Structures are given as structure tokens and as C-alpha cells.
Amino acid sequence: MSKPNLEALSGAGVSIWLDDLSRERLTSGNLDELIRDWNVVGVTTNPTIFAGALSKGESYDEQVRELANRGADTEATIREVTTTDVRNACDKFRDVYTSTNGVDGRVSIEVDPRLAFDTDKTVAEAQDLWKTVDRPNLLVKIPATEAGIPAITKVIAEGISVNVTLIFSVERYEKVMEAYVAGLEQAKANGHDLRSIHSVASFFVSRVDTEIDKRLKAIGTDEATALLGKAALANAWIAYDAFEKTFQGERWEALKAGGANAQRPLWASTGVKDPSYSPTLYVDQLVVADVVNTMPEKTLQAVADSGKITGDTVTGRAAQGQEVFDQLAAVGVDLQDVFVALETEGVEKFEKSWEELLETVTNQLAQLKG
């Protein structure tokens, strides 16, 4: 059965991706249903998602037991299990991938977050994941840390499609887009078909409000309180304006003529953290053509039930966003410090999830052996 709100969102040019993946989703028919009836045209994963999936139920027991009996260690088991899920998800999205000329039907897998501050190891891991999954509709996730920026260029230059993750500030986002364009120029020089290279830039939304709202409440003035819940959308509106400015002009047109695809903004972390906000806030107010919104299932359900999709809510709002930022600075919010804190926390959260994943799989291997 079609979902009118989701149909409207897709019709407005937003690609709906699910921010979750598990063996159970793949084998139960749930993912097939979401593709068929819920307008879902892609999936994103991260270490937290895999840590959660492997800690629940028995879906992975058979494969983990087989790997244990083969003598696989924890790292090899994680690689085998996660790439199997991602490869199978890629296959489920193959028709979407074909029908959209490679724009959608995408599944993302992240490099080991412990490599976030090592360019060369990130590149090597991205290459290995690309070869291991071996599907054209894969996106390898690389964090937008200072060390991740040159890694993006190197990986794109080799013809590997990339999802750049953990972007919080427009300043860093501009560096990400530059890294992508430079990578395409190198890929062209290396003889790669630019039409086959795709990328999205995952711009985090709700976490910005979480961090800034906390600081506004600590300031506590009427002016500060009036800005609660406004920063994340303002940030995204400014980011979209930066996207429009980057993918035009002589330099971009030369690449476009060779078949290059623009790096689409992907709105990430769109589940609302503050229960006083509308559960569809970071969907309704971020509708614009040529973007992705990757949602947890709870948010997807909320949009289907009560989303207010009224057409483009982004174009032309950068000045409004800048006004909010000026007001935030005026009441004493140090935005530079906010973005540094968010990136540090983002990497740490994924590292912690990876450690949890290691612990879960180590225990499973010990229990299932024999």
C-alpha cells in the first residue's frame, strides 16, 4: 500500500534511505517491503547499527559458528558478517540502482572508525571494503575529519564511490566538496569513467540542535531561549546554498561534460532527539530536490503518519539560516567550539560502538565454537 506523505517526499526530489540494516531485515522480508511500499531507495549503516544488530537475536549465529570453526578471529568475523549483510542489501537494491542510473539503490559501509585520524589506513581500508563487497552500488563511508579529507580525494580518484560522514559545519562541508571535485579530476586523468562514480555528503542535523540547545539553556536568557531548535535547520539551509554554489561554473561544467555526478547532500541524524519537537521536523523542513534523507525507521513511520510535505522548504533560506547563526553568536554560543565538540563526540561514539562490536563478536566466537 502506498504512503502518500512518502510519495510526496519522493516526488519533491528527496531520496528516502533507511538508516539501519540487520540480517533479520534482510531475511524476514522487511527490507523488501520497505523498498516496495515505503519509497525506501537506499540504506546507510554505521558501527552503532552493526553493534546493535549483532547483539540481538540469533540471526548471525550460523555464520559466526562457521567462522569460529574455521578459526576466524574477531576482526575477520566482523568483516565477513558486515560485508555479507551489505552485499545482500546491495543485491536487494539492484533494480533501484539500475532504474535510477546509479543515483539510488545505494548501501553504505563505514571504514573502521579507529582509523579516522589516519589518511593512508583509511584509504587502504576503503579499497579493501570496495573489493570485498564487490558491488557497484556500494558507498564506502569515510569520516570528514582533517585526515579523512585527503582520503576522500584519493579514494574517488580510484573510481570508488564514497559516502562522506560526520559533517557538522559548513566550513568542513566546503572542504569535503572540494576533496570530491579534486578526486574526480584525478579520476578523469586516471582514465576512470566519471559516470560510474557517485558520492553523498552526510551532513548531520539533530546532533547540532542537541549540542547548541544545551548551551542555550545554560545561557538561559530570553534571547537564548528563543533560539532553541533553530540551529540545525539553519546550518542545513546554509549548507545547501554552499552545495548549489559549488556544483556550477566552469570547473564543474568541465567535469559534468565528462559524465560527472554532483555529490548530493545527505541529511543524516534526522531522528528528533528532543521529544518537544515535531518527530518529522528534520524531514519537513529539509525538502528540496537532489538530496537524500536517511531516517531511522521510527522517523520514516512518523513521516508516513504525520509528515507535512509542502514542497521545497530549503531553497533561498540561507540568509535566514545566517541570521540565526548571527543571533547564536550574539547570545554567546561559540559555534566553532560546537562543531569541534560534535566531530570529536561523533568519532568517539563510533569508536565506542566498534569496541562494543568487538566485544560482542569475541564472546559469540567463544560460545559458538565447536
Angle between helices 170-189 and 249-257 (to 10 degrees): 40
Cβ count near 75 (within 10 Å): 12
Residue 370's pLDDT is what? 57
Instruction: Give the closest residue to 290 by CA, choosing from 3, 7, 12.
Output: 12
pLDDT tens, 25-36? Answer: 999 999 999 999
Q: How far is 153 from 184, CA to CA, in rounded Å?
A: 8
Domain positions in the chain: 4-369
Which residue, among 194, 185, 210, has the nearest Cα to 160 in the 3D structure? Answer: 194
**Are the beta carbons of 87 and 133 closer than 8 angstroms?**
yes
| Catalytic annotation, residues | 141
State the pLDDT confidence band at 58, using cuts at 50, 70 and 90.
Answer: confident
Q: Per-residue pLDDT tens for 258-293?
A: 999 999 999 999 999 999 999 999 999 999 999 999
291-295/264-268 β-pairing: parallel
Q: How confident is the model at residue 21 (pLDDT cuts 50, 70, 90)?
A: very high
- The amino acid sitting at 130 is W
pTM (predicted TM-score): 0.97
The predicted model gives 17-42 an average pLDDT of 97
CATH number of 4-369: 3.20.20.70
By DSSP bridging, strand 14-18 and strand 138-143 are unpaired
* Cβ atoms of residues 154 and 123 within 8 Å: yes
Cell of 136: 557497484
